[in-house]
Chains A and B, each alone.
Chain A
Amino acid sequence: MNENLFTPFSAPTILNQPATIPIILFPTLLILTPKHPINNRLATIQQNLTRFTLKQMMMTHNAKGQTWSLMLTSLITFTATTNLLGLMPYSFTPTTQLSMNLAMAIPLWAGTVMVGLRFKTKNSLAHLLPQGTPTPLIPMLVAIETISLLIQPVALAVRLTANITAGHLLMHLIGNTVLALSTTNLSMALLASTLLVLLTILEIAVALIQAYVFTLLISLYLRNNT
Chain B
Amino acid sequence: MPQLDTSTWFTTIMTMLPTLYLIMQLKLLNTNHHQPPLTKTPTLQSHNVRWQPKWTKTCLPLSQPQQF
A interface residues, Cβ below 8 angstroms from B: 6-7, 9-11, 18, 20-21, 24-25, 27-28, 31-35, 37-38, 46-47, 50-51, 70-71, 73-75, 77-78, 94, 96-100, 103-104, 161, 165
Q: Assess the B24–A78 pair: CB atoms within 8 A.
A: yes
Q: Assess the B3–A96 pair: CB atoms within 8 A.
A: yes
Tell me which residues from 23 to 68 in chain B have a Cβ below 8 Å from any Cβ of chain A: 23-25, 27-34, 37
26 example contacts (A-B, Cβ-Cβ < 8 A) are as follows A6-B1, A9-B3, A11-B2, A11-B8, A18-B11, A20-B11, A20-B15, A21-B15, A25-B15, A31-B24, A31-B27, A31-B31, A32-B31, A37-B37, A47-B33, A51-B33, A71-B25, A74-B25, A74-B28, A78-B24, A94-B12, A97-B12, A100-B13, A100-B16, A103-B13, A103-B16
CA distance A75 to B16 in the complex (A): 11
- Out of A9, A11, A98, A165, name the residue touching B11 (CB < 8 Å): A11
Q: Name the distance in Å between A156's Cβ and chain B's nearest Cβ.
A: 14
Query: Which label, helix, strand, loop or mixed, suits the secondary structure of the B interface?
Result: helix
Q: Name the distance in Å between B3's Cβ and chain A's nearest Cβ.
A: 5
Q: Assess the A35–B32 pair: CB atoms within 8 A.
A: yes
- Out of B3, B17, B29, name the residue touching A161 (CB < 8 Å): B3
